[in-house]
Each structure stands twice: as C-alpha cells, then as structure tokens.
Amino acid sequence: MSKRLTIGLFGFGVVGQGLHDIISTKDLNIEIRKIVIKDPSKPRTLRESLFSADASDILDDPEINTIVELINDADAAFDITANALKNGKNVVSANKKMIAEHLNELVALQNTHGTSLLYEGAVCGSIPIIRNLEEYYDNELLHSISGIFNGSSNYILSKIANEGLEYGDALKQAQDLGFAETDPLLDVGGYDAKYKLVIAAAHAYGAFVKPEQVLNVGIQNFSGADLHFAKEHNLKIKLVPTAKKLNEQEIALYVLPRLVPKSDFLYNVENEYNAVSVKAAFADQQLFYGKGAGGHPTGSAVLSDIAALRYEYRYEYKKFLNDSKLKLQNDHVIPVYIRYKSDGLIGQLNFDFIAEQHQSVELKYVLGGIKISELISKKDLIEKDGAFIAQAGALTGKFEELTRLQFETA
C-alpha cells in the first residue's frame, strides 16, 4: 500500500498552480495541507486559510511529511530544502539552480538523515530524463548527452527562423506565455540550460561539477546574419548543452548554440519543446521529447516525483558512489562558427586552428577550432563585441570535407 503524503507547498506561481490543478483531478492519497507564498495580499483562487507567509507553518508542522519547493530564489530554496531533509521530511524541488549549486551537500544530507530529495521537474519539464539516467542507463557506457534543455530560448529561435519575428518580439511572446522570465538572461544566456546539464551529468557520469566551471554561451547576440548563414547551409540554430565522455578519466560539459543539420534529431524540435539525445555504447542513440516549459508539463514531472515518494523512492547516485573518477576537462577543442564585428577580436582569441575566415560588408565570420577554456576566459570580450558563437561540427555543403578532416564532430 502506498504511503499517504501530507504536503507543504512553497510557491504558487505557474508551476505551483499547475501542480495543484493536476492533483485536484486525481485521487492519489495526497493532501496539500499548507501553501507558503511571498505576497499574502495577492488575490488567490483557493481558500485563504490554505495560504501563509510564514515558512515555519510548514517546516515545523509534524503532520506535514513532504515538502514541495517551487520558488525562484535559489538561496531560500536551499535553506528550505536543507531544513526539511534534516528534520525527516522528504522534498520535491524544481529549482535547477539550487540543486546544481548544492548537489554535493544535498546528497550528503540525504545520506545522513535517511531522507529523499527528488527533482525530475528541474530538468527539461515533462521529460523523465533523471530517473531514466538513474535506472535505465545505470549500467550503460554513455558517450554523450545533449539536446534542447530550455524551452524559452528554443521558442525564441523557432519564431525567428520560422515566422520571421525579430528577436525582441519573439522574446516578448515567450514572456507573455510564461516561458521566459521578466529578466530573460537566465534563459537566453544559457544559464538555465547549464544548471540542468550539471544535474543530468551527475546522474549520467557520477561527476559533480560546479556550474561556474562550465561554459555557457547564449543566444542574446544572435542576429539576422547568423540566421542567413544557417539557412544558406540548410542548418538550424539551436541552443544545445552537451555532456561528453572524452576518455576514461575526463568529460567535457558546455552550453553553446549549435548549427544543426536536417539529419540531427534536434532539427525538428520547435517552440517550447525540449529534447534530450542520449548516445550510448549498447542502446545507441535515443531521443526523449516533450514540453519543457509551462505549468502543467513541469507540474506533471513534480507530481511524478511526489507519487514516487509514496513508495519511498530515492535516487541512489550509483555512478557517483561506484565510479566518481571522471573529471571535467576544459582544454577540449570544439569546432566553432564565430560571427564578429571588430577585426581586433579574432586576434585576441587563441584558436587551435582557423579553417576559414570570411569578411564582407554584410558578414564577418571565422570557422575554427578553439579550447573551451579559451572561450571561458574570453567570454566577456566576445559578448562585448556583440559576436555570436555556435558549435559548427555539423557544417555541410562546401565545408563538409573540411569538417571531416579537421573538426571534431559533435
């Protein structure tokens, strides 16, 4: 028989309301006892007695055995989660920043206090990738994990490429639909995708990497010139996080826009949809596809975790405990397309090689190979120039032979 869960919910925004909608339609032996919100004066659709602005009304209630944390503040989310785990309450969270930045501590707290933290909703919305990495791929030799992890940026790129919208208009649409925040840098700057990648890599490879060590380059400098270049070569531009096993001791993690060919699964992933591509030694390549943004898709992933807690499920972190020798390697060379404005920029970047350089009135770009560490150290310089970078290992047409001979394929 499943355990009855009495829930204390932190946050009643898009995901919190989506979760409540889903729970209300089912008989799951689950009760939401109290909801803590930031603004008690804001009108609510549920009865007033259900809400509180005092965290202790949940954390100190002995009848509440499960905490669901769905707030934006990563520091506050960590305090809530750590407090709950220490006091014998299981936690479900969708806060990818909090989890990515504190994963080592959170695993230690679970082991010490015999509690469970689940966070499927923190990575790619409705796609059940964490539990699959934990269970289905627990004995697999994973070559790489990549995909579209951020529905907001994918929505923006889709609207620009398919409907001819300007960047600002596409961003506003994403914000109006609740896909992007008022301050969109978390999404368009690749930070959201980076946090999700760090979490996924921990379950795929057992490597706990700090987010600040991982390169993230976003789409905020994307321009019509880049769109024209991609279309000219029958490519699409997608923001793609990648975790890649380099050898028995090293992995590479990075978030970059990518020039994607029609042969790639990701080519047809549009709008707010997410996709995770897993390449493995035995299972070969598999694609997980689903909505990555919105209250109901993410709420469904949160509910899946809540339901799993009824049967006392917990992550085992098998690869971390059994094979944690893999380390991050930022000296890995990746093939890139860099469209730039200032001629001086390219001279300040230490390329391992430059395969082609083009200059015209309309467009200046370089195709070459460069270390991840070099992009990290020169990231501010690149962004200040207004340059746009994309991984270019899949270039076709006249660059196909060049790619085969000189570039490492993605």
Is pLDDT at 28 greater than 80 in this prediction? no
pTM, rounded to two decimals = 0.93
Q: Which of 89, 96, 196, 244 is catalytic?
A: 196
Report how far apart, in Å, the C-alpha atoms of 106 and of each of 182, 328, 359 are: 29, 21, 50
Quick one: average pLDDT of 25-34? Answer: 83
Among 331, 143, 148, which Cα is nearest to 255's?
A: 148
Per-residue pLDDT at 397: 42
Residue 140, Cβ density class (10 Å: 0-12 exposed, 13-18 middle, ≥19 buried): middle
Inform me whether the pLDDT recorded for 161 exceeds 80.
Answer: yes
Helix axes 224-232, 151-163, angle to 10 degrees: 70
Q: Tell me the pLDDT of the chain averaged across its residues.
A: 90
Contact assessment for residue 279 and residue 103, using Cβ atoms and an 8 Å cutoff: no
Q: What are phi and psi of 219, to 5 degrees?
A: -110, 10
Mean pLDDT across the stretch 278-299? Answer: 85
Architecture of domain 333-406 in this structure:
2-Layer Sandwich (3.30)
196 carries an active-site annotation: yes
Cβ atoms of 63 and 6 within 8 Å: the answer is yes
Token couple for 298? 């993410």
What local confidence, expressed as pLDDT, does residue 399 receive?
Answer: 47
pLDDT computed for residue 140 by the predictor: 75
321 vs 83, which has greater pLDDT?
83
* Chain center to CA of 322: 25
CATH superfamily of the 5-122 domain: NAD(P)-binding Rossmann-like Domain (3.40.50.720)
Tell which wins on pLDDT, 22 or 164.
164
Q: Which one-letter DSSP state was computed for residue 217?
A: -
Q: What is the pLDDT of residues 204-262, one digit of tens each?
A: 999 999 999 999 999 999 999 999 999 999 999 999 999 999 998 999 999 999 999 99
CB atoms within 10 A of CB 255: 28
C-alpha span between 253 and 241 (Å, rounded): 8
DSSP element (H, E) containing 329: none
- The ranges assigned to domains in the chain are 5-122, 333-406
Q: Could you read off the pLDDT of 312-354 as tens digits, one per residue?
A: 999 999 888 776 678 999 999 999 999 999 989 999 999 999 9
Beta bridge partners of residue 252, listed in sequence order:
244
Give pLDDT, residue 256: 97
